Structure 1
Amino acid sequence: MTAFASVDYTAAEAATLRAKWGWMVAFGALLALAGFVALGSVVSATVVTVYVVGVAMIASGIVEMVYAIVVRSWKKFFFWSLIGLLYFIGGIEVINNPMLAAGFLTLLLGAGLVAAGLIRTFLAFQLPKEAPRGFVVFSGIVTLLLGGVILAHWPVSSLWVLGTFLGVDLIFAGASWMGFGLSLKRAGDSGAVGAVGGERVAVDPPVEGFSRDFGRKLFAEFLGTFWLVFGGVGSALISAGFPQLGIGFTGVSLAFGLTVLTGAYAFGPVSGGHFNPAVSLGLATAGRFPWKELGPYWIAQLVGATFAAFVLLQIMKGNIDFSLANGFAANGYEDHSPAGFTWQSGFLIETVLTAFFLLVILGVTEGRAPVGFAPIAIGLALTLIHLVDIPVTNASVNPARSTSQAVFVGGWALEQLWLFWVAPLLGGVIGGLIHRFALADEATG
């Protein structure tokens, strides 16, 4: 039983929707672009978010005071006028002191997430045995962890949390609109959405919750991305600089390659072994992954990467010489590039390397490729990418990996994070398009 009734459209209505698919995709792209801009300047986005809250409070206050005049009752007039006045004054103060308001709102958000995580985890054990308790517990732990990260860095987190949430929300909203528009186009091209009996067309409603199989996929992506960040970044933090015996750039590059190789064999049969938002987007662009699953995959990957970074941070705190000021293996450019490369160089190399990474992945996973060797080729490709890219940006080609470090480093890492979303995602799309239209095997592409 779903939470939504089946939705029926007449054939004319369905045709009208299909005719607008391009506008939906364009609107989604604009939303996603706005989200990337927000992530590129999270402090400014935070201020914008606070201003929106302030304007909403002022508008609510005006409505309340107008309502107080309409009710024509002295008792109610005083009550509604007082509420309206408080909203109005509060909105003015929010606009006049945006950073103070951001701190308060961030504190409330962090506390709310912690409380929600605890309650959700507790309630999971009250569910019937046949219910998917594990996924509810997982969701509660993720919410609790997110709230804990926000509170642990408060009040500094108030500079970036609201802006980051705004950016991520815009990106996912944009992805949803683009996915809906593209699905309408595909349905129109294939004739899958047509008139039934010459009169009506049925549009499948959203499904309540995730199926057990899809939940397994998300959990596999969480584990695989955790393994990638924990093994790759962990090698950079713990082993790379060890006196005399340090593994250096070569060892770190190999570690990243080995995590993907082993993770692909372990978790690939369940989820496809993406472990990277850029890979998921590239596969969707190439027609090898459903657009509707893109958002949930991204969330699982981001959570897995961030949890790995959190565990690494707790381990590194046991070293008396450790400091987040040293970078925590975060990706960066200019002053934060290992060799001082500019953002233009970083953008170009991240885009090119991600595009070729997708070309390797798509090529070795086609039906005509030798069976069973794909993880080896993919792992070696990632090793090569890191050998080239570590001196430039510390090697990302993976927005989830970059985000997981930036969240804890804060400051410059968050300010430069936009590049490590935009460039890899752009590279993923380029790689997916090249393979789809120039290289794909007709039997599988």
Structure 2
Amino acid sequence: MNKRENIDIEIKRMQQQMLNYFQTHWKLFLAEGIFFILLGFCAVVIPQFFTVAIVIFLGWLLLFGGAVHIGRALLFSDMPGFGSWLFMGILQVVVGYLFIAQPANGILTLTMLMALFFGFEGIAKISLAFMMRPLANWGLILFSGMTALVFALIIAISWSETSHWLLGLFLGINMIFLGASLVKISLHHKEIH
């Protein structure tokens, strides 16, 4: 066997495993899809709220994570890399505090990071879709990936003017597309199972 045949065999094996998971756990994928659709609709209806909530939530995560880093660094001050651990903790606390205290500035930063997220997520979904290609409804995942890439481009072009609501809106739309894809795929595999 040559390398190409090995790759084809491996892809077919992964596709069969994916098919088995969809057939066996279709209810879990259905529930996950419905959850994403509901959450996505909430974010579309009130995108400003979701945008601010994301920034503040992330701020608290960074603040607490930084406090843990600082605490561990001080507890193990003789550990190699003490200065780096302490610096990372202080940096996380400062950025977390700034996100909480000045969410408007955090929104601008996060919106640009979301452009990167949507870009990488789009690439990952498109790759996954091509792995799923012979399976039913694989095109929905492909469409969701292409949509994420379009969102990344739109955010990158207009992020400073629209960041206060665009992040929540696009996150909501992205979740709706993902949820709808999961619902459609799970219902298809329910009928087969």
Point out which structure has higher relative CO (alpha carbons under 8 A, 6+ apart).
Answer: 2
Aligned: 1:166 with 2:174: no
Kindly provide the CA deviation profile for residues 366-412 of structure 1, in whole angstroms up to 9, marking residues without a partner as x: xxxxxxxxxxxxxxxxxxxxxxxxxxxxxxxxxxxxxxxxxxxxxxx
Cα distance between partner residues in 1 of 2:31 and 2:100: 32
**Amino acid aligned to 2:13:** S
Give 5+ residue unaligned stretches, structure 1. 117-137, 189-445
Give 5+ residue unaligned stretches, structure 2. 1-6, 120-145
Aligned: 1:61 with 2:69: no
Structure-2 change in CA distance of 1:5 and 1:91 (3 Å): farther
Cα distance between partner residues in 1 of 2:151 and 2:180: 22
Q: Which residue of 1 aligns with 2:157?
A: 149
Q: Which residue of 2 aligns with 1:47?
A: 52
Q: Which residue of 2 aligns with 1:31?
A: 36
Moved over 4 A (4+): 2-5, 16-20, 69-72, 107-110, 141-145
Cα distance between partner residues in 1 of 2:36 and 2:150: 26
**Amino acid aligned to 1:92:** Y
Structure-2 change in CA distance of 1:18 and 1:143 (3 Å): closer
For residues 24-423 of structure 1, the aligned pairs below 5 Å read 24-69=29-74, 72-73=77-78, 76-107=81-112, 145-151=153-159, 154=160, 156-188=161-193
Residue 55 of structure 1, CA deviation? 2.8
Cα distance between partner residues in 2 of 1:143 and 1:20: 30
Is residue 102–residue 158 contact of structure 1 (8 Å, CA) maintained in 2?
yes
Cα distance between partner residues in 1 of 2:46 and 2:32: 21
The number of residues matched between the two structures is 155
Residue 42 of structure 1, CA deviation? 0.9
Is residue 60–residue 84 contact of structure 1 (8 Å, CA) maintained in 2?
yes
Q: Which residue of 2 aligns with 1:6?
A: 13
TM-score (norm 1): 0.30
Q: Which residue of 1 aligns with 2:126?
A: none
Q: Which residue of 2 aligns with 1:22?
A: 27
Kindly provide the CA deviation profile for residues 399-430 of structure 1, in whole angstroms up to 9, marking residues without a partner as x: xxxxxxxxxxxxxxxxxxxxxxxxxxxxxxxx
Query: Between Structure 1 and Structure 2, whose CA radius of gyration is higher?
Result: 1
Is residue 106–residue 157 contact of structure 1 (8 Å, CA) maintained in 2?
no
More helix by share: 2
Cα distance between partner residues in 2 of 1:109 and 1:31: 18
Q: Identity percentage over the alignment?
A: 26
